[in-house]
Homo-oligomer: A and B are copies of this chain.
Amino acid sequence: MSDPIKYVLDESRIPKAWYNITADLPTPAPPVLHPGTMQPVGPDDLAPLFPISLIMQEVSTEREIEIPEPVRDIYRQWRPSPLYRARRLEKALDTPAKIYYKYEGVSPAGSHKPNTAIAQAFYNKEAGVKRIVTETGAGQWGSSLALSGALFGLQIEIFMVRVSYNQKPYRRALMESYGARCVASPSNETASGRAILAQRPDHPGSLGMAISEAVELAAQRDDTKYALGSVLNHVLLHQTVIGLEAMEQMSMAGDFPDVVVGCTGGGSNFAGLSFPYIGHALRGGQKSRIVAIEPAACPSITRGKYAYDFGDTAHLTPLTKMHTLGSTFTPPGFHAGGLRYHGMAPLVSHCAELGLIEARAYPQVECFDAGVLFARSEGIVPAPEANHAVKGAVDEALRCKQEGKSETILFSLSGHGHFDMQAYMDYFAGKLVDQPYDENELAMALAGLPSVS
């Protein structure tokens, strides 16, 4: 029997700086626009929502941004996260490829999300903020911010998409265990929530609506700010610890990836692993193929339009140029709640436009097939989101087998599935189906995009 091999970095090797891909891109990403003036937003426009330190990171062009020591101190609890060689999976696939995965499920919240939640809580605390408001879909992000609030003594308030609030009480209980307050969205606590409930009192909610509620509330009070778990430049920046560590660990293994694979919803997990590799190639280093895996039911890169759009439903956010399905698009039900966003991070979208990454969409059932094979081979049950990355890696390994090539594949296993066992129950009971999105709805949502010259 061949066994997995773990590559462990000493904690002194936790990166001292995050990597900012903006410094290496051949052209800058299009500016963020104010929806009223259609002019690029300045720091002042964002100041009601974010502390100035995070706004400066959002617009920074410096290649390296120092990680504050108190953030590294907390990272130390679970970082550097392990990198594994998936020898048993390779054997199960009978592939000549070498498969490695970087495992972020070792964080106390079980996913990569604390990498940015801890950083955001730190900067807010430093700026004298008392309360952070946010939204959450499946609950990975909400529980990570709740954890961070507990560690920094910040009040955390979370608008949780109502359908998840009702279906995932255990994620809610985790947030409450960390002392956060969790509200079903749409709620009566905001004007945007009340407007939706007036039309439809039993509205199941959406991530876009929950963002509207959180943004509205944060803008009202000086001691309160807003936090987002993906999409924004500074969020992707914080996640680069994943890729920076992985590069060192792959060196320890004496290997370099031919292919880097990540699942992508808002883009932060994908960017976290891949941006350091993209930057390495842009600076003249060895080049890897970079493959983004998205769900077929919410395929923003592969089926969306690269256009200016709002980040939320109530159109309270600035306009960003991104691959979008339209802010009114509602994907059909599927289990990877973290991949249900209508847009893609502007920096990931820009990389796709520049031809720096490939994208591929998979329906969920075959992702679960791959996830269960992975669990039985490697011992870790992946989160439904991570199953998409597993599927992507498995397909690359099977291609290598067909082509007789011994390529090196690296993917990010962004979280464990311990909070998602209902999805596995449905899968084993044959109840997990691939529901396609509504083509008419997508066409309408795309037709409704704001017109920006």
Contact = CB atoms under 8 A, between A and B. Distances in A.
Interface of A: 1, 3-6, 8, 10-11, 70, 73-74, 76-77, 84, 88, 106, 108, 110, 147, 150-152, 169-171, 173-174, 176-179, 372, 375-377, 379-381, 417-419, 421-422, 424-425, 428
A421 B418 CA distance: 11
Contacts of A177: 372, 375-376, 381, 417, 421, 424, 428
B106 A179 contact: no
Nearest to A374: B177
Given A176-B424, A376-B178, A376-B179, A70 B381 contact: no
A412 to B, nearest CB: 17
A170 B76 contact: no
Nearest to A423: B173
Nearest to A150: B376
Given A4-B76, A4-B77, A169-B425, 7 more contacts: A8-B10, A106-B106, A108-B379, A150-B376, A169-B421, A170-B425, A177-B417
Given A173-B424, A424-B177, A150 B379 contact: yes
Contact of A77 (B84, B372, B381): B84
Nearest to A84: B77
A93 to B, nearest CB: 16
A265 to B, nearest CB: 21
Name the residue among A88, A151, A152 with the largest chain B CB count within 10 angstroms. A151
A70 B173 contact: no
A383 to B, nearest CB: 12
A421 B169 CA distance: 8
Nearest to A379: B108
A73 B3 contact: yes
Contacts of A4: 76-77
B379 A421 contact: no
Contacts of A379: 74, 77, 108, 147, 150-151, 178
23 contacts: A1-B70, A3-B73, A3-B74, A4-B77, A6-B76, A8-B10, A74-B379, A108-B380, A108-B381, A150-B377, A169-B425, A170-B421, A170-B422, A173-B422, A173-B425, A173-B428, A174-B418, A174-B421, A174-B424, A177-B417, A178-B376, A178-B381, A179-B376
A84 B106 CA distance: 15
